[in-house]
Amino acid sequence: MVLAAFTLMCMGFGAAYSFAAFFAAFQSEFGASRAHVSLVFSLSALLWFSFGVPGGMLADRFGPRGVCLAGALILVAGLALSARAPSLMVLYATFSIGAGIGIGLTYVPSVVAVQHWFVQHRALASGIAVSGIGAGNLLFPPLAAWLIGQAGWRNAYLALAVATLLLAVPAALALGGRAATRASAGGTTLPGMTLARALRSPPFWALYALGFLLCVGVFVPMVHLVPYAQDAGLGTARGVTLVSLLGLGSLVGRFLVGGIADRMGHVNALLAIGAGMGAMFLLWWVSSGFWPLAVFAFVFGTLYGGFVALMPTVCMDVFGPKNLSAILGSLYTAAGLGTLIGPTFAGASFDAFGSYDAPILACAALCFAGAAIAAPMRRQLAHRA
């Protein structure tokens, strides 16, 4: 179960996060601004977070296997069709929609399947499963850059489509069916909140605010570190290396932060992550050399990885397993809205002013604000966890 979830997230998010390696090729091929190229990714992220809601509801009702299989096939189709896109507008329809819906239908159901299968060491199992996201972020950008150099960006997308077909589809079939959603309750009705009750609870909206404000900035370095490195004279290869370091840090964070959070409290850890991400944006703002940027990328990735690993566990603690997929999917719409704004705003700001200073500082402020807004809810969330 953990391996299947790991594989689905590795392939889906690997294909998505490799977008940074394609950025310059899209600008050159279509003569597009950085804002318009960034919007391709941002729309995709908005869809994959938004489709966590219907995907989660379907998985709660029918089990994760069929939902994840549909998502994997849509992702394959989106990547294959992107290879034939004649314009940036078509890329919005192929990559943005195909990858967005495909990842949306695989992410939440596979994450929640792991939550249901484990009682002891649930945070560890969840961390291992979602480390697939970090593995994809670590491996796919340099792989995509190599494929682009060898065969061009169109053939690179075809190769990613074939790899996803060969690995993600079997992983989806390996997930448990409807019975998996009942495993942790011995076949009885699961305890916990309904989605409607969760939507009326203060903890839901505290987590929603935290997720939105952090995720405005989370994907800005995913999309813009490569062009930032090019502008700083570091070259494309070092820029892609920085994106891979985000993935390496993300892998470490999924394993490291869970154990720390168990000792300091899951909610306290989420708030500390928000403040730490704000501090890392300030480090990015004052950095132009490779090694300071490498420190930023690795530490920021670690914090982001911890955030992703903790959110399902916090939701399980606070809301219970009954409608966990639907609740988690609803919370992820905050991340989708934040991601729609962040990378696109960063690209538009650069197009207008020739600098990333404004978006980097804005992202730092929003991360600090997210931690501050959620802080008053700390005691209420902690006593329910």
pLDDT tens per residue, range 198-210? 888 888 888 898 8
Distance between CA atoms of residues 366 and 219, nearest Å: 13
pLDDT bucket at 183, cuts 50 / 70 / 90: very low
The pLDDT, as a whole number, for residue 188 is: 53
Whether the per-residue pLDDT at 180 is higher than 50: the answer is no
| Count of structural domains, the chain | 1
Q: What is the dihedral of CA 222, 226, 227, 231, to 10 degrees?
A: 130
pLDDT bucket at 256, cuts 50 / 70 / 90: confident
Which tokens go with 329? Answer: 């999917």
**Mean confidence (pLDDT) of the chain:** 85
Whether the per-residue pLDDT at 61 is higher than 60: the answer is yes
Longest dimension (CA), the chain: 60
Q: Which of 144, 84, 76 is nearest to 106 (CA)?
A: 76
Cα radius of gyration (the chain): 19
Taking CA 196 as the corner, what is the angle to CA 107 and CA 51, rounded to the nearest 5 degrees?
25
Whether the per-residue pLDDT at 314 is higher than 60: the answer is yes
Whether the per-residue pLDDT at 234 is higher than 70: the answer is yes
Whether the per-residue pLDDT at 29 is higher than 60: the answer is yes
Domain that holds residue 123: 2-384
DSSP string, 302-332: HHHHHHHHHHHHHHHHHH-STTHHHHHHHHH
Residue type, 74: I
**327: CATH:** 1.20.1250.20
Average pLDDT over residues 101-114: 87
Distance between CA atoms of residues 266 and 278, nearest Å: 19
Mean pLDDT lowest for which of 42-56, 282-296, 314-328? 314-328
Whether the per-residue pLDDT at 161 is higher than 90: the answer is yes
The pLDDT, as a whole number, for residue 203 is: 82
Distance between CA atoms of residues 181 and 299, nearest Å: 35
Q: Which of 213, 253, 193 is nearest to 374 (CA)?
A: 213
Whether the per-residue pLDDT at 328 is higher than 70: the answer is yes
Q: What are the contacts of 196-199 at 24+ separation with CB within 8 A?
A: 198/319, 198/323, 198/327, 198/330, 199/330
Residue with tokens 């480390």: 131
pLDDT bucket at 191, cuts 50 / 70 / 90: confident
Whether the per-residue pLDDT at 280 is higher than 80: the answer is yes
- Range among 155-169, 245-259, 310-324 rated most confident: 155-169
Tell me what percent of the residues of the chain surpass a pLDDT of 70: 92
Distance between CA atoms of residues 76 and 33, nearest Å: 27
Whether the per-residue pLDDT at 179 is higher than 60: the answer is no
The pLDDT, as a whole number, for residue 363 is: 95
Distance between CA atoms of residues 77 and 33, nearest Å: 26
Question: 109, 55 in Cβ contact below 8 A?
Answer: yes
Average pLDDT over residues 241-268: 80
Which tokens go with 158? Answer: 């075809």
